[in-house]
Chain A
Amino acid sequence: MSDNVMEVRDLVKHFPIRQGLLQRQVGAVRAVDGVSFEVRRGETLGLVGESGCGKSTTARLMLRLMAPTSGSVRFEDEEIATAKGARLKALRREMQMIFQDPYSSLNPRKTVGTIISEPFAIHGLKKAEGERKRTVRDLMDRVGLNPEHYNRYPHEFSGGQRQRIGVARALALKPKVIVADEPVSALDVSIQAQILNLLRELQREMGITLIFIAHDLSVVRHMCDRVAVMYLGKIVELASSDELYAHPRMPYTGALMSAVPVPQPRLAAAKKRQILAGDVPSPSNPPPACRFHTRCWKAQEICRQEDPPLEPKEGGNIAACHFPLTDAEVIERVPTARIA
């Protein structure tokens, strides 16, 4: 059994833009534009980026909820990018997803019990009398729900509880990989911690590999062992959490960290914040070469000409940048960084 439970190579997903009389393709939204990385067994990998960076699309490609335009996705050393039919269905037992919006991701017409036991029904498992119900109630208990509420409907639960239902459903088949797509963004602050702790606990207990998608850098830092930062369909930095937050190398990562408002007024006053100019360019028309060069204060001519390769930089981070941040720059612009 290899170290990597999943591997992604040169993954591409373009959504065509059609126009004209014959609906010819005039361009494409390059949602994911050449992404490669591995997911190590049992780790929590974070995918971070702002809207339009392609993180959600990447996750869906990994779970084969869509087919890639090109590229390879390997699960347990097996190519699944072109999987279909029965093989695809069997894969679903090993990979699951927790969605962002607990209000719209649960079928309002089904009881909680039905929702959580659906995976068993779909895959024809646990058919013994009462076994399904028992398992579901166990699951409910495990995620912090009262098993007595088996027959209740989603609208009778709060947002945090609904998210727990989503977690229970994802866990039902004991998958190897779970993708959590912004699982706490729609929840109140005091509830977020409950769900995050739950995810951590369950992951450790069941040895699940967790791919955690979020835009909130502080949450990612807390939950993830390694983090991949995405921008306009590409990975711009990949590093362990410690490395990334101590010394981000890609200026975009630095800007992201600098932008996160920290709940400490003394820090807020002290720092020289890195405010990025302009908006994120459109993924249908990304800037040439280094995509970030239009907003980067370190950009120079070469950044407009040559696409920087993803390679290791000082401190262990893998980044795609011609002029990565130096330690001094990091200290100046990212007040929460701790240079070892």
Chain B
Amino acid sequence: MAAYIVRRLVWVIFLLFVVTLITFVVFTVLPAVDPALLRAGRQPTPQLIESIREALGLDEPAPIQFINYLGQILPFVGGDGVNFGYSYQSNTEVLPQILDRMPTTLFLTGGAVVLWLAIGIPIGMVSAVRTGSLLDRVLMGGALVAISAPVYFLGLVALYLFDDSIGRFPLLPGSGAYQQATSIFGKAEALIMPWCVLAAAFAAIYARFLRGNLIDTMQEDYIRTARAKGLSERRVTFRHGVRAAITPIVTLLGLDIGLLLGGAILTETVFNIQGIGRYAYDAIVRFDLPVVQGTVLFGAFFIVIMSLIVDILYAFVDPRVRY
């Protein structure tokens, strides 16, 4: 197991390197506004632009810029500690900005995860146990709607209906409320709609997946054996059926969490939540390379690490898997 983890970690580092390279290449190759121009303010002189370019290291050839960047972000290389660069737009240091927004993204993701598991899994189980019934059909139909409706659509509908200032049934704090809230409870209240909107599609996907998997699992031979032992149907379904059917969900969940920790861009935009996703989106639109590189790296890191964690967890969940 230890050897396996070490090998995977080496792979993680390699992947992150590749991600950084690709992001860098994309932004270098795309025609974009000269960042020095952005910094220079109004009616800059050519000398000013030139000196800014020099300061930003933009006069060096691209490969050198890349190596410089790598040197900055690696912790023990260079004398500066870890530095993800400075935003072209605002000149603020990127890493602290990301870390600042981390709690928000974590809160948003965490709440959504809890919600979609709490809804999706029971629905999946009920549907599987009562396959073909009216209830099953209604639930799966609803799931289809939830998957089909894009997050921004659901978000806007939610705001339209429930926003406490403009909504039809003013109930919940709406767009921008997260920033204004001061207490944990206030923040949580502001996240209720975003959580629901974000969780909807995931809950539906998990429900459908679990339903299919549980139906298949209940056809297995060991279920027949469990019944032949005289166990109650409830025990057979949960201890034997669900226990086996739920294992792929561990993998799914890990990857989804990894994805969301990189920022739920659409949700954050609709509800005006200053998470990493929002930060990344703003930077992309403005070709703010250092910020984009930083957020992409962060996102990639989470995905890759969660994937490793999930694979390790899988060995605990399924005793047949051995590293």
Contact = CB atoms under 8 A, between A and B. Distances in A.
Do A and B touch, yes or no (CB under 8 Å, in the complex)?
Answer: yes
Nearest to B10: A21
Nearest to A20: B3
A190 interface: no
B26 interface: no
Nearest to A21: B3
A31 to B, nearest CB: 21
A305 interface: no
A20 B3 CA distance: 5
Contacts of B6: 21
Interface in A10-47: 19-21
B91 to A, nearest CB: 44
B8 to A, nearest CB: 11
Interface residues of A, number: 3
A20 B4 CA distance: 7
B7 interface: yes
A19 B6 CA distance: 13
Contacts of B3: 19-21
Contacts of A19: 3
A35 to B, nearest CB: 31
B9 to A, nearest CB: 11
Interface in B1-24: 3, 6-7
Nearest to B3: A21
Contacts of A20: 3
A20 B323 CA distance: 9
Nearest to B4: A21
Nearest to B7: A21
A20 B7 CA distance: 9
A22 to B, nearest CB: 8
A189 B7 CA distance: 51
A21 B6 CA distance: 7
A102 to B, nearest CB: 22
B110 to A, nearest CB: 35
Interface in A255-298: none
Contacts of A21: 3, 6-7
Nearest to B6: A21
B158 to A, nearest CB: 46
A139 B7 CA distance: 54
Contacts of B7: 21
A19 B7 CA distance: 12
A21 B7 CA distance: 6
A284 to B, nearest CB: 15
A144 B7 CA distance: 56
B1 to A, nearest CB: 11
A20 B6 CA distance: 10
A290 B7 CA distance: 40
A294 B6 CA distance: 40
A21 to B, nearest CB: 4
B59 to A, nearest CB: 44
B32 to A, nearest CB: 43
B215 to A, nearest CB: 22
A59 B57 CA distance: 66
A21 B3 CA distance: 5
B105 to A, nearest CB: 35
B197 to A, nearest CB: 42
B322 to A, nearest CB: 11
A20 B5 CA distance: 10
Interface in A191-245: none
A21 B5 CA distance: 9
A24 to B, nearest CB: 10
A-B complex: 5 closest residue pairs judged by Cβ atoms: A21-B3, A20-B3, A21-B6, A21-B7, A19-B3
5 contacts: A19-B3, A20-B3, A21-B3, A21-B6, A21-B7
